[in-house]
Amino acid sequence: MTDKELISLLLNNKTREKGFSLLAHTYKEKIYWQVRHMVLSHEDANDLTQDIFIKIFQNIDSFNHDSSLSTWIYRISLNHTLNFLQSKSQKHKSSLKTLEDTMLDNLKSDKYFDSSEIELKLQKAILSLPEKQRLVFSLRYYDDMPFKEMEEILKTSQSTLKSTYHFAVKKVEEMLLDEEKNKISFPH
Amino acid sequence: MKTRNNPFKVPENYFDSLEKDILSKVGQASKKQYFFPKAKQMLKYAAVILLFVAIGGTIWWNIPKKTTTTQDQMAITQVKSDPKPTSIATKIEEVEQNKTIDKVIANPTKVKKQEKELNEDKLELSDDELEYLEYYLNEDVLTDYLTYND
């Protein structure tokens, strides 16, 4: 089903339920993984994914066809995720540990994470990146998102995104250099 | 879903249950979405009514109250002190009488001329006509006039 057909189902009150069922079926996994790679915890990712779909449902009438439906959905998803992380970071300010340290500690005991030493080191390196670099790195490295699509979602030029990704990769590589440099390869 | 080097896992059949959870939550949100616009609309009407009441009250509160002037107070005192308040008809009558007196005082020659013409025509007035004249002419002025003509 094309985006156009899906939108026409979503914008019609009689077919909205069916349209939304199709939309959830199509996008649930992609949204979940985008969120999960940013928040790391399965529980948080699960809650956020459901919230994102509610947000999509509540705002579907405001979809104005300026971008594709998928771009609009991913933009909502990323904004919601970043807001969640910022809010969590604010709440975490009074704590002695940083949010990143807490996330890493939780990851170690997470049964839904392959907590091998090298994976934990990689996550530690990724968590040390500034937010924008971490987002771009995550979308490119884990979700294999083309820079063209990223440009539309983040409203940032492809050249800037490529440069951001390049710096992020360099930093992560530097951190892993002493450890398992040869075990991880990054796409260029 | 194609992902690279993904160390993250999910519970078994997680995505099937996720879809059900999403649709269930969206169904609940849909019911809320149906109810809240109505509540919002009612709140809007209530707010508009309150606004009008507030504006009306403010205007009413700030209108300068009509104060009683000295003249009004005098008139009130006069009315209160008058044991037999004069009726409007009597007042009009008094005003008419005063006008007649004013005419006579202002132009006695004209009145005299009219009287002379009446005499010349030897007009004889009936009792009713005389009574009518007496009624509209002040007694004192008439007496003065008659004295003056004598």
Q: Is B26's CB within 8 Å of A57's CB?
A: yes
As for the ipTM of the complex, it is 0.79
How many CA atoms lie less than 13 Å away from B49 in the CB half-sphere? 6
- pLDDT, residue B104, reads 64
Average pLDDT over residues B44-55: 89
Average pLDDT over residues A132-161: 94
Higher pLDDT, B68 or B112: B112
Instruction: Kindly report, residue by residue over A15-71, the tens digit of the pLDDT.
Output: 988 999 999 999 999 999 999 999 999 999 999 999 999 999 989 888 877 788 999
Question: Do the domain assignments include residue B51?
Answer: yes
Number of domains in chain B: 2
Domains of chain A listed by start with CATH number: 1-95 (1.10.1740.10), 116-188 (1.10.10.10)
User: Nearest C-alpha of chain A: how many angstroms from B48?
Assistant: 27
pLDDT grade for B22, boundaries at 50, 70 and 90: very high
Question: Do the domain assignments include residue B99?
Answer: yes
Q: Nearest Cβ partner of B1 from A29, A40, A50?
A: A29
Q: How far is CA B42 from CA A3, B38, B39, B46, B56, in A?
A: 37, 6, 5, 6, 21
- pLDDT, residue B1, reads 47
Q: Is B3's CB within 8 Å of A144's CB?
A: yes
Nearest CA in chain B to A24: B19
Question: Do the domain assignments include residue B73?
Answer: no
- Print the domain residue range for B47: 14-64
Backbone CA torsion sign across A172, A173, A174, A177: positive
Q: Nearest Cβ partner of B33 from A50, A58, A144?
A: A58
Q: Is A20's CB within 8 Å of B5's CB?
A: no
Question: Do the domain assignments include residue B75?
Answer: no
Query: Cβ atoms within 10 A of the Cβ of B31, count?
Result: 9
Helices (H), A13-157: 16-39, 42-59, 69-91, 99-108, 117-127, 131-141, 147-154
Least confident stretch, A53-62, A105-114, B31-40, B110-119: B31-40
- pLDDT, residue A181, reads 53
Question: Do the domain assignments include residue B9?
Answer: no
Question: Do the domain assignments include residue B8?
Answer: no
Question: Do the domain assignments include residue B5?
Answer: no
Mutation pick from A14, A42, A116 vs chain B, by most beta carbons of B within 10 Å, is A42
Which of A31-35, B30-34, B114-118 has the largest mean confidence? A31-35
A38 with A85: CB under 8 angstroms?
yes
